[in-house]
Structure 1
Amino acid sequence: MLRGLYTATAGMLTQQRRTEMLSNNMANANTAGYKADQSTIRAFPEMLLQRMENKTLPTGNGINVPGMQTIGSLNTGSYVQEIKSPFLQGGLKETGLVTDVALVEENVPLNPETNVKGSLFFVVQNQAGEERYTRNGHFTLDNNGLLFSDGNPVLSTTGQPISIQSGEFNVTENGDVYVSGDPEPVAQIDVRFAADVRNLVKDGNGIYRTSDGQALPTAINNGDIQYNLKQKSLENSTVDIGRTYTDMMTAYRSFEANQKVLQAYDKSMEKAANEIGRLS
C-alpha cells in the first residue's frame, strides 16, 4: 500500500513543478525575446509483481512444489527529467522606439553533435562585471547615455558598455551605432554565438550564462552565420498563451487526480489501523 502513496506523491510533485514552469512562461508571455520552457516527464522503472505459492503434484505422497505466479507490473511514479528552452526565432513587432532592437537570425549552423541549431545573443554585463547573454532588445538609455538591457549595460565589440550621448541614433543591420551628425559609428553592438545551447543556463530575467564559465564567441565576421539587427522593433516571446493555458489546466487536473488517490490511500490506512485491528 505504501508504494501507492509514493506513486501518487511523485505524480503530485511532477505536476507541481510543471505548473511552476508553465506559470513562469505565462508571466513572461510579453517579455521581449523570452524563450518558453518545455518539460520532459518520464516514469520511474516499473516493478514486476509475483506471488509465491505452492503447487501440489498429483502423486501418492502429495508433494508440494514452491512456485511463482505473476500478478502484473506496478508503476512506481513519474518525475520531471528535464526542463529546456527551444531557442526558436520569435515573431517581430514594430514599436517605433529608437532604443528597441530586434535580433533576427537568418542562417545559424546546426550543431554536428546534437543536430540542433545554435542561437545568437546580445552580450551584457551584470553587476559583478561578468558577461551574460540575452535576446531582450528592449534597450534603454540612462542619464549618462549608456545603453542598458533590463538594468545591464549592453556591450560593444570592444567589450565596453555602449555610450550614446544623444537621444537620436541609428542602428544598422550589422549593429553599427551612428549618432545624428557623426559620420563614424560610436560603437558596434556585439552579437555572440552559442553553438551548443545545452551549455546555456538561465540566470533570471531572460539572462543566460554558460555552464562552463567560458565566454561565447562573437558572431561578427563569421561566414557561416547571417543575421541582422532591426531597430524600432522587438522580438516577441515564443510563449503560446492558448497552449500554455490548456497545459496548465491539464496539470491542475492531474495534480487533483493524484491528490484524490493519496487521500484514498490515507483513509484506507486509517481504517486498517483504527478498525480492522481493533479488539472487540
Structure 2
Amino acid sequence: MVKGLYTAYTGMINEQSRMDIETNNLANVNSTGFKEERTVSRSFRDLLGLKIKDYSDAPWTARRLGLMNPGVKLAGSYTNFEQGALRHTEQKFDLALNNGLPNVDADQVNDNMTAGGNAFFATSFASDDPDGGGQLIKYTRDGNFTLTVDGYLVTSEGNNVLDVNNNPIQIDPLADTTILQDGRIIQNQNVVATVQVASFDSPQFLQRYQDNAFIIGDGGAQVVSTTAEAANATVNQGYLESSNISVVNEMTNIITIQRNYDTNAKAMQAEDDTLDIAVNQLGRIT
C-alpha cells in the first residue's frame, strides 16, 4: 500500500512538472521565434536501471527491476525546432530565417511556410557569472532587431547582432539599407557586413537560455557554419518568425495533464483510505 501511495505521489509530481512547461509554452505563443519545449517521462524503475546498469549491456538499456513500476519521473525535456510561420512587418531591420524550404523571393514568403529550424542568429551578451569571461554568444530565431544611433544592429534586449566573424555589426545609421537573402547588408551599393546565420551539427544538444534563445553550454553542440547559404537558409528582410506553438495542442495537453493529476490524486486518496482500514479496523476485537 505504501508503494501505491508513492507511485501516485510521483505521478502527481511528474504532471506538475509537465504542467509548468506546457503553461510556459502557452505564455510564449506570441513571442517571436519561440520554440516549443516538450517533455519525456520515464518510470522510476527504468531510470534507476540506467543509473546502476551493467555497461557491458547494450548502450542505454535498463535492466528490469521488479515486476511493478514504483513511480514515474520527468526524465527531461527537449526542444521542437520546427520553423514557425513568417509574418510581414515591413520594418527594414526585422529579419526572419527561412530554412528547409526551396529558396523563394522575399515577396513570396507566406504565413503557411513551415519547416525545420537549424539556423540561428548570433548575438552577444554579458555573462551573469563573475567568472564567466565577459561576452558570450547566444543563438536565437528572434529577428526583431533595431539600429542604435551609433549604427549597431541590436536585439530588443540591446545585445549586439554578430556577423560571420563574431564581430558586432555596425553600419551607417543614415544610409539606405538592404539586407539580401544570403545575409549581406548593402549600403550605397557596397557590402558593409554579413549577418551570421549559425547552424549546428546537433541542435538538440543546445541549452535553452531564458525563454527565447540558446547557448552551446556543455551539451556537445558545435557550430558547423556561419552563413545562410551553408545553413540552407534565407534571411528575409521585413519579416518576423512567429512561435511554433499551437494553442489547440497546448490546451489539449494541459487538459490531459490536469486529468492525469486528478487521477493520481484520487488513487492516493484510495490508497490512504485502504491503509486507514488496514491500520485501524482489521484485526479489531469487538
What is the TM-score when the length of structure 2 is the normalising length? Answer: 0.76
After the TM superposition, which of the residue ranges 83-92 and 8-17 deviates more from structure 2? Answer: 83-92
Rounded Cα–Cα distance in structure 2 between residues aligned with 1:143 and 1:262: 62
Asked whether the 8 Å contact 2:34–2:244 carries over to 1, the reply is yes
Rounded Cα–Cα distance in structure 2 between residues aligned with 1:277 and 1:170: 86
- Structure 1 residue aligned with 2:121: 122
Alignment of 1:90-239 (within 5 A): 90-106=84-100, 119-128=118-127, 129-151=135-157, 152-166=159-173, 168-179=176-187, 182-212=188-218, 216-220=223-227, 225-239=231-245
Asked whether the 8 Å contact 1:32–1:236 carries over to 2, the reply is yes
Q: Give 2:173's aligned amino acid.
A: S
Please tell me the root mean square deviation across aligned C-alpha atoms, in Å.
2.7
Rounded Cα–Cα distance in structure 2 between residues aligned with 1:137 and 1:237: 12
Change (3 A) 1:183 1:13: same
Rounded Cα–Cα distance in structure 2 between residues aligned with 1:199 and 1:75: 29
Rounded Cα–Cα distance in structure 2 between residues aligned with 1:254 and 1:124: 41
Show structure 1 runs of 4+ deviating over 6 A: 277-280
Asked whether the 8 Å contact 2:99–2:117 carries over to 1, the reply is no
Structure number with greater Rg is: 1
- Structure 1 residue aligned with 2:10: 10
**Structure 1 residue runs without a partner (length 5+):** 47-71, 109-116
Secondary structure at the residue paired with 1:262?
Answer: helix
Q: By how many angstroms is 1:98 displaced?
A: 1.3
**Structure 2 residue runs without a partner (length 5+):** 47-65, 103-115, 128-134
The C-alpha deviation readout for 1:95-142, integer Å capped at 9, x for no partner, is 11112100111469xxxxxxxx78111111011301111111111233
- Structure 2 residue aligned with 1:257: 263
Change (3 A) 1:103 1:38: same
Change (3 A) 1:257 1:173: same
Q: Which has the higher strand share?
A: 1
What is the TM-score when the length of structure 1 is the normalising length? Answer: 0.78
Rounded Cα–Cα distance in structure 1 between residues aligned with 2:270 and 2:257: 20
Secondary structure at the residue paired with 2:91?
Answer: coil
